[in-house]
């Protein structure tokens, strides 16, 4: 005998919990086979009188082409000789089949054989009917399946929603919902918290939830534009149901917005104390207000600005550990000297060591994968945006990023991998600022300044991430003025750029540009 398992939600985080999702999927998969067995053994119910009526032949359209369900009438063999000379005649007579039984019972517990509901019947509509009306079997015994849905309101809260006129949910709210598809869908939406796990459940944040919510809000906007309908009971109960759905879905900001509109509607009808409201509408309005107060408090506690943690940089102190000495030894000589002076944090040293391991051969992709090259570039970008990084470290990250993007990614990037938009503009500004300021920073040696100018004047990307020709000339002139003894002689420049990340294939390119600039500007 198959056992029934119930999956409950105790917290909003359960809706996004992967383990809860796995439990739901396991439940659905296990019940598929049981459902097939039950449906195969289920005896079909006798048809009603209107279902036995054959279709009207006048409404059947006869297709001229051949159909599989058509009957071909030909002359009998006895009269075949009489009609040999006559043209052949074929008569197509469609078979008269009974209409299929309408599939009204999808996955709920209520039937609507006369299509009296104002919206298209679906599993959620049937759940809404169960929400407002308890079902009993023909024998008088209560339907246990329906009790799981209706007990919250129709049974447990009977004292709150019943008076001498009967059950308010059935006699008042449900009758209003049958007159307005907007209210009907709002009730369905507010029931999302009552659904057991299953394929038809409305999960807050899912496609079905978004569909019903969008439909209700669009119809509500149109209704509020009609003066006679903007403040009636249907509008009020629709907003109450919408607030309930948003609250249990965790959309506290939306619930607070709807409450302001609801308060304005109630005030236009004389207020909660003096307005023309029945007892249960007043009860729902009061409960809705209390619910929104809780939602506002929850939203206030959760809506604080997100604190983005800054990387806490650790700078080495003598004596250095053996592992740190090994990292520094793996760096190019120029970066090793700066690291020994204590001007680079341990985090920056580790990133430079990863880049040095990849830059042992040219291009970088010979030693590491493209994914690793991308990770190195992303790490350098993240350090560029940290406020705790010193200006010297930020400049080094910018220069290493430019080296990484040309040497490691330039040949493999496609259109979708290029930098564009505001991010590209920000990088261009950072590159221009670095070219103007990095040589004057504390700790920037002549070797680092020469290598930085070589990177800034050599590297350019497909999307135009590079200095302009004028900016390149100004950068070289600034270098010559600051370090004239080394920047005027190519032998000195070549020795110093090799102390950092600068492949041999780039040296000749930089040499040609350097000679042209020195000759044109007489530096």
Query: 336 vs 20, which has greater pLDDT?
Result: 336
Round to whole Å and give the CA distance between 339 and 331: 9
Please check the confidence at residue 98 and state whether its pLDDT lies above 60. Answer: no
Please check the confidence at residue 107 and state whether its pLDDT lies above 70. Answer: no
pLDDT on residue 55: 52
Inter-CA distances, 156 with 8, 160, 193, Å? 19, 9, 17
pTM of the model: 0.44
Average pLDDT over residues 347-360: 89
Q: Which residue reads 């592992």 in tokens? A: 323
pLDDT on residue 520: 82
Please check the confidence at residue 412 and state whether its pLDDT lies above 90. Answer: no
Could you report the per-residue pLDDT of 84-97, keeping only the tens digit for each? 444 444 444 444 44
Round to whole Å and give the CA distance between 245 and 92: 57
Could you report the per-residue pLDDT of 178-205, keeping only the tens digit for each? 778 888 888 878 877 666 556 666 677 6
pLDDT on residue 116: 58
Query: 376 vs 28, which has greater pLDDT?
Result: 376
Using pLDDT thresholds of 50, 70 and 90, give the confidence band for residue 49. Answer: low
Lowest average pLDDT, out of 70-74, 153-157, 250-254, 367-371, goes to 70-74
Inter-CA distances, 176 with 183, 233, 269, 380, Å? 8, 8, 19, 62
pLDDT on residue 240: 92
Q: CB pairs under 8 A, 24+ apart, for 58-61?
A: 60/94, 60/96
Are 466 and 495 spatial neighbours (Cβ–Cβ below 8 Å)? no
Of 334, 328, 329, 313, residue with least CA distance to 452: 334
**% of the chain surpassing 70 pLDDT:** 63
Using pLDDT thresholds of 50, 70 and 90, give the confidence band for residue 54. Answer: low
Average pLDDT over residues 301-329: 78
Q: What is the total residue count of the chain? A: 523
For the chain, the domains span 123-302, 322-521
Please check the confidence at residue 149 and state whether its pLDDT lies above 70. Answer: no
Cα-based angle 431, 436, 441 (whole degrees, multiple of 5): 105
Instruction: State the average pLDDT for the chain.
Output: 73
In a 3-state reduction of DSSP, which class is residue 167? Answer: strand
pLDDT on residue 7: 56
Are 175 and 133 spatial neighbours (Cβ–Cβ below 8 Å)? no
Could you report the per-residue pLDDT of 422-433, keeping only the tens digit for each? 777 888 888 999
pLDDT on residue 251: 82
Could you report the per-residue pLDDT of 381-403, keeping only the tens digit for each? 888 888 889 999 999 999 998 88
Token pair of 309, please?
Answer: 């943690």
Please check the confidence at residue 268 and state whether its pLDDT lies above 80. Answer: yes
Could you report the per-residue pLDDT of 115-148, keeping only the tens digit for each? 555 555 555 555 555 554 443 333 333 333 333 3
């Amino acid at each position: 005998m198959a056992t029934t398992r119930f999956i409950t939600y105790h917290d909003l985080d359960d809706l996004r919990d992967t383990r809860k999702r796995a439990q739901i999927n396991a439940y659905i998969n296990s019940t598929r086979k049981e459902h097939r067995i039950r449906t195969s053994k289920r005896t079909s119910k006798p048809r009603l009188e209107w279902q036995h009526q054959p279709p009207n032949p006048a409404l059947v359209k006869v297709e001229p082409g051949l159909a599989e369900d058509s009957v071909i009438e030909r002359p009998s063999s006895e009269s075949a000789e009489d009609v040999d000379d006559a043209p052949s005649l074929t008569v197509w007579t469609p078979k008269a089949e009974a209409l299929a039984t309408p599939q009204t019972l999808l996955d709920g517990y209520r039937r609507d054989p006369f299509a009296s509901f104002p919206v298209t019947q679906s599993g959620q509509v049937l759940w809404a009917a169960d929400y407002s009306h308890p079902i009993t079997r023909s024998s008088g015994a209560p339907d246990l399946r329906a009790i799981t849905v209706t007990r919250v309101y129709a049974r447990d809260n009977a004292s709150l929603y019943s008076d001498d006129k009967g059950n308010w949910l059935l006699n008042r709210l449900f009758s209003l919902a049958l007159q307005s598809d907007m209210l009907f869908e709002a009730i369905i939406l507010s029931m999302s918290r009552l659904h057991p796990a299953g394929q038809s459940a409305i999960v807050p944040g899912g496609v079905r939830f978004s569909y019903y919510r969008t439909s209700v809000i669009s119809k509500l906007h149109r209704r509020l534009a009609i003066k006679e309908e903007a403040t009636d009971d249907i509008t009020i109960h629709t907003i109450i149901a919408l607030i309930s759905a948003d609250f249990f879905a965790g959309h506290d900001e939306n619930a607070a917005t709807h409450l302001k509109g609801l308060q304005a509607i109630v005030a236009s009808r004389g207020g909660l104390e003096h307005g023309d409201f029945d007892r249960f509408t007043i009860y729902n309005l009061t409960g809705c207000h209390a619910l929104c107060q809780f939602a506002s408090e929850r939203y206030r506690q959760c809506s604080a600005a997100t604190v983005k943690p800054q990387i806490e940089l650790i700078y080495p102190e003598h004596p250095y550990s053996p592992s740190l000495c090994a990292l520094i030894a793996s760096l190019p000589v120029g970066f090793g000297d700066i690291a020994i002076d204590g001007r680079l944090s341990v985090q920056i040293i580790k990133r430079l060591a990863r880049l040095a391991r990849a830059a042992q051969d040219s291009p970088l992709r010979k030693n590491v994968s493209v994914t690793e090259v991308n990770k190195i570039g992303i790490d350098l970008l993240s350090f560029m945006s940290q406020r705790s990084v010193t200006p010297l470290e930020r400049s080094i990250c910018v220069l290493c990023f430019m080296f990484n993007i040309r040497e490691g990614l330039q040949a493999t990037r496609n259109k979708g991998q290029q930098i564009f938009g505001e991010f590209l503009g920000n990088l261009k500004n950072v590159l221009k600022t670095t070219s103007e300021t990095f040589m004057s920073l504390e700790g920037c040696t002549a070797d680092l300044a020469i290598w930085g100018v070589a990177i800034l004047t050599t590297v350019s990307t497909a999307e135009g991430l590079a200095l302009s020709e004028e900016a390149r000339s100004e950068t070289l002139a600034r270098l010559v003025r600051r370090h004239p003894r080394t920047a005027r002689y190519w032998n000195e420049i070549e020795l110093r750029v090799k102390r950092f990340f600068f492949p041999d294939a780039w040296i000749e390119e930089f040499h040609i540009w350097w000679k042209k600039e020195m000759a044109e500007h007489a530096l």
